[in-house]
Homo-oligomer: A and B are copies of this chain.
Amino acid sequence: MDWETVKQRLDALLEADKRIELRGALRMLNRVDVAQYLSELDTEKMLKVFRILPSEISSDVFSYMDDDQREKLISTIGDQEICRLVDDMFIDDAVDFLEDLPSDLVKRVLENVSDDTRKVINRFLSYPENSAGSIMTIEFCAFPGDFTVAQAMKEIRRTGVDKETINTLYVLDKNGKLTGTLALRKLISADDDQPVSELSDSNFVSVGTLDDQEMVAETVRKYDLLAVPVVDKEGRPVGIITADDILDVLQDEATEDIEKMSALTPSEDTYMKTGVFTLVKNRLPWLMLMLVASIFTGLIISHYEEILTAPALGSIGVALTACIPMIMDTGGNCGQQSSTLIIRGLATGEVGPGDALKVLWKETRVALLVACALAVVCFLIQKFIFGIDLSVAITISLAMIFCVLFAKILGGLLPLGVKALRLDPALIASPMITTVADTCSLLILFVLATAVLL
């Protein structure tokens, strides 16, 4: 049954006010889909349907709803209901939710949750944004290394049902320091009286609470982990980050890089949810910057234009003017291609500032081949389609070679330089590259043309 059909049937039940039937129908859906159904209703209907939900699924659905709707819910439902919903959420989801809530509602929520939850939430809210601490969950299983397998299994049975994952268990020393990880599959096939420390793997990977989420994502990806433990300064585990949360981090970081590379300030929210004024604020400063930069390009053109339109040069001026877009576009495009590959390489950790020489050597060879091919095509077009003088066509083609060489080398090295200065290449290098390559390409064309043709 596709989503449209599902929605129509639910809508029909809602329309006819058949609440009990609707409750039954909603039981048949995955909780993520229930949340999606709610997100497509207006506020009044959404509140009505949410109240119909069986209580055992409503807290799950609540954790999948979007922030706007949760805010509306929190401001209409009773204190007891708030307590139940937030207490049932995984701590990391609850914290995410509270971070985006207006402060009066945060206060109301914190007043109504249990003491334990409040304490943990407050600790989480103190971690810096985008740190490992702020995205971790505290629902994990750990026990001392001298526990036997039987003791460990008993502990898991007692507490495991509430854990986000028990695929991997964590083994501690006397001081609570993490000394090893233990796959549950190993535990359940081991002898009852074996100490867990003997089964555990001490070559584990962990991250610190203050590590940046991008670095955590890279660690999880590199080591193929389903969950990574987060340890405090003393090496004690305080939480875990599961691979499904890392998926969101990776997706967001990629979106952020893509936006920066198109000269956009990255938005907190998705396109449809971002307001017009925020969109303008994210775009305008970059456009202004590039507008001002393009004035210099204009000045170069007018400077040489006066020389090139001198009657003595005749049709040469017209030919050169006509190839301005070609030279500018090609320079800009070549620079963008190279810088994109290097910026992405820096983001995935494959390329580093130390690789400058290797990049230079590679880009130079690529640029030479690309430049020659483009120059030949450019020459043929100039000479045989537009019938331009041989000497002018050769000059333009030569300029093309230099422009491509310059743009590709600049595109390869500028991101590395920006990275070496500990700045963000996607933010600085990408918007700069086209403007710089454009301007320099024009300069190359005009300098070469005046030197050769005048």
Contact = CB atoms under 8 A, between A and B. Distances in A.
Contacts of A51: none
A325 to B, nearest CB: 4
Interface stretch (A42-50, A75-83, A333-341, A444-452): A333-341
B161 A263 contact: no
Contacts of A301: 321-322, 324-325
A65 interface: no
A2 interface: no
8 contacts: A167-B184, A221-B247, A226-B226, A243-B244, A270-B350, A287-B334, A294-B325, A305-B321
Interface in A344-359: 344-345, 348, 350-351, 355, 358
Contacts of A377: 288, 291
A28 interface: yes
A171 interface: no
Contact of A438 (B31, B221, B325): B325
Interface string A154-167: 00111011010111
A381 interface: yes
Nearest to A349: B270
Interface in A156-190: 156-158, 160-161, 163, 165-167, 184-186, 188-189
A8 interface: no
A188 B340 CA distance: 50
A370 interface: yes
A25 interface: no
B295 A341 contact: no
Contact of A254 (B153, B158, B254, B288): B254
Nearest to A156: B188
Enumerate the 8 nearest inter-chain pairs by beta-carbon distance, A residue then B residue, closest first: A254-B254, A243-B243, A297-B325, A262-B340, A167-B167, A302-B322, A298-B322, A294-B329
Nearest to A245: B224
Main secondary structure of the interface of A (DSSP, over half): helix
A252 B277 CA distance: 33
A390 interface: no
A318 B306 contact: yes
A279 interface: yes
B291 A378 contact: yes
A14 interface: no
Interface string A217-233: 10011111110000000
A203 interface: yes
Contacts of A184: 166-167, 184
Contacts of A257: 254, 258
Given A184-B166, A276-B366, A341 B247 contact: no
Contact of A255 (B263, B293, B344, B370): B344
A326 interface: yes
A204 interface: yes
A365 B189 contact: no
Contacts of A30: 203-205, 223
B321 A251 contact: no
Contacts of A12: none
A286 to B, nearest CB: 7
Nearest to A359: B271
Contacts of A120: none
Nearest to A64: B224
